[in-house]
Structure 1
Amino acid sequence: MSLMISTLSNGIKFLKVSRSAQNLGLLTVVQQTPDIHQHRHINKHFNPKWKKMRREKVVKVELPNINEKFGDLTPDEQRSRMKERGVAPPRPYMERPFYISCTGGTFEPYVPPEGDGKVSSVKGVAKAKFEFLEKKGKSMMAVRKIRGFEEEFEPPEFALKAQEIYIKAHEAMMNKDKYELRKYVTERAYPEMRHNVANKTIRWKFLKSLEQPYVIHARCTDVISKENVYGQVTVRFHTQQCLAIYDRFGRLMHGSEILAKDVLEYVVFEKHLSNYHGVWRIHDKIIPDWAPPIEPSNKTYIDVIEEPEPLELMAEEKPSENIDVSVK
């Protein structure tokens, strides 16, 4: 009897028996259990995919030595430690950077002629025109310098733009919107416009322009360095406005909401010309010496009038009884 064992790729073994053995009644096929090796306690994921991703989700962090004192290290060791941690070395100076967004005042302010905005004689008008032409040369040079930074600058167009800035700034002050107010006034004019408006209600309204606004004065100056240039333009406004101010109790302190008044103002606008993102904002207001004084606020009080008592009630009152409090 001849026997032969063959093994397939799946691990199943077959037992081949010759025909002579089959006649003897022996089994022809013998099936054994698959040849599978089981590995227990293996430290591998059952799915070999994404093993790179699983490896990268864990990051080894180098923790600093908490027992190491930075002051005990030498300067070279301190420098190497700071380079390892990506820390910039300390600077040898204590200066702090600062930004100058506006100037501290009005340089070469415009002096308004006396009687401006009123009907005057021919002699006064001629004198004012002569003084204006005398100062016009410097203003033209300043406008030319402004055009070097702002090519589209034109005084007539800027006067209309300045009037819009003027209206928006006063509306923001009326609404007490300090964030909106900072867009239209400089850091110098901001505290002046916010002064003494707490606990008060302001009603302001722009009615119309009695005269077309125009640029009457322009100057440029540099701060700290010649490249840091600021420009100031003075615009004349002759308008009609309504203003009423109420205190915290709702009592009228100044002005009226129904009475319109003619207002003549010389407003200075400033821009940081060297700054690409600079904008024109209200910087100052020129008040001439010949202007009439500001009217004081009207304070209202309750007038308490004491009414005399009737004679009949006084006669009916009984005299008070004398009480003896002496010690016996």
Structure 2
Amino acid sequence: MNAGIQVRERHTKHWAPAFKKLRRLKVQKVKLPNFREEDTISELTPDQIRSRMKEQGILPPRSWMERPITISATGAVFEPYIPPEGDGKLSSLTLGGAKQSMEFLSKKSKSMLAVRKIRSFEDSFSPSTFAEEAQDIYIKAHKALVEKDYDTLHQCVTELCFPLMTEDLKMCTTRWQFLKSLEPPRVVHARCTDIINKENIFSQVTVRFHTQQTLAVYDRFGRLIYGSEVVAKDVVEYVVFEKHLANSYGLWRIHEKIIPDWMPAREPGRKTYVQQKPVVESEPVADTTVPATPTEQSAAVA
């Protein structure tokens, strides 16, 4: 009567039926990998390879390689600021002064639009207060360069500016000191641009510094090759600061310095060389040895 029908008697049931599911999950079937699959893959057809890749969740290979790219800084200064010749202003009555005034107004309107764009990301941004902040970044970066603290220097300069500042000073000792500001720093130029898409926005602000500094550079032998630690010089610089506005953790960093064409060439550093040892020509020495004559005792022994 009970042929082919599973009958569960009292003595065949488990004493704790509440944990039947856990007992079933205690033993699971695991599909072990086939370590010889690479040997047999050449024998498979394209349809078999495709079905196996779908089974394993592997995407088909592409004919090109994609690598992640992080753009943390731009590669140049877009719309660089052109300082007026001599760093002064011509009279507005002259032709050059009128032209300079028109250019100043057109550039100022673009700078105001750029400042408005920066304020859409930073509510507290102000050109007057940013100039003081830029001067602190400027001093901090140069102190880190003198002490060769590259971790701090990376926080103050961009990836474009870092090799320009450190390349020629790897084997040198630098002494730099900021004495005072002859004129308060001021923002003279501001621009914004987008890269790749409209949301990825970078901003560049040019700040004018008129300061008094001392700079001395020594080579690896301790010889002075440029500047002086005693003589102070008045320096006028136009420094470009950049920030990745789309990055919520972005920082204002030094990007580049603008050197106008009318500026005179900088005094080159003095080069030092290893002094060669003088070569002394050795003269041939005449043979002055006297042949030894055998004594009577040595002759007798012989």
**TM-score between both structures, scaled by the size of structure 2:** 0.71
Compute the displacement of 1:208 (Å). 1.2
Provide closer, same or farther for how the CA distance between residues 185 and 113 of structure 1 changes in structure 2, counting only shifts above 3 A.
same
In structure 2, the residue matched to 1:242 is 214
Compute the displacement of 1:96 (Å). 2.6
**36, 43, 47: which one pairs with 1:67?**
36
Is contact 2:90–2:97 with CA below 8 Å preserved after alignment? no
Amino acid at match of 2:72: S
Is contact 2:140–2:156 with CA below 8 Å preserved after alignment? yes
In structure 1, the residue matched to 2:76 is 105
**Paired residue total:** 254
For 1:176 and 1:102, locate their aligned partners in 2 and report how far apart those are by CA, in whole Å.
22
For 1:260 and 1:104, locate their aligned partners in 2 and report how far apart those are by CA, in whole Å.
33
For 1:71 and 1:183, locate their aligned partners in 2 and report how far apart those are by CA, in whole Å.
53
Q: Which region of structure 1 is more displaced relative to structure 2, 176-185 or 69-78?
A: 69-78
Alignment of 1:184-203 (within 5 A): 184-203=156-175
Compute the displacement of 1:143 (Å). 0.9
SS at match of 1:64: coil
Amino acid at match of 1:260: A
Q: Which region of structure 1 is more displaced relative to structure 2, 256-265 or 80-89?
A: 80-89
In structure 2, the residue matched to 1:167 is 139
SS at match of 1:149: coil
For 2:195 and 2:273, locate their aligned partners in 1 and report how far apart those are by CA, in whole Å.
51
In structure 2, the residue matched to 1:11 is none
Provide closer, same or farther for how the CA distance between residues 71 and 169 of structure 1 changes in structure 2, counting only shifts above 3 A.
farther
For 1:209 and 1:110, locate their aligned partners in 2 and report how far apart those are by CA, in whole Å.
22
**TM-score between both structures, scaled by the size of structure 1:** 0.66
Structure 1 residues not aligned, in runs of 5+: 1-51, 304-319, 324-328
For 1:95 and 1:300, locate their aligned partners in 2 and report how far apart those are by CA, in whole Å.
48
Larger radius of gyration: 1
Asked if 1:140 corresponds to 2:112, the answer is yes
In structure 2, the residue matched to 1:95 is 66
**266, 275, 286: which one pairs with 2:258?**
286
Compute the displacement of 1:179 (Å). 2.8
For 1:59 and 1:235, locate their aligned partners in 2 and report how far apart those are by CA, in whole Å.
69
For 2:81 and 2:151, locate their aligned partners in 1 and report how far apart those are by CA, in whole Å.
30
In structure 2, the residue matched to 1:210 is 182
Is contact 2:158–2:255 with CA below 8 Å preserved after alignment? yes
Cα-to-partner distance string for 1:276-319 (whole Å, 9 max, x where unaligned): 2222211111111221210121346899xxxxxxxxxxxxxxxx
Q: Whose relative contact order is higher, 1 or 2, with alpha carbons under 8 Å and at least 6 apart?
A: 2
Structure 2 residues not aligned, in runs of 5+: 1-21, 276-284, 289-302
Alignment of 1:245-324 (within 5 A): 245-299=217-271
In structure 2, the residue matched to 1:47 is none
- Aligned Cα root-mean-square deviation (Å): 3.5
Greater per-residue helix proportion: 2
Provide closer, same or farther for how the CA distance between residues 95 and 290 of structure 1 changes in structure 2, counting only shifts above 3 A.
same
For 1:109 and 1:74, locate their aligned partners in 2 and report how far apart those are by CA, in whole Å.
60
SS at match of 1:213: strand
Provide closer, same or farther for how the CA distance between residues 129 and 239 of structure 1 changes in structure 2, counting only shifts above 3 A.
farther
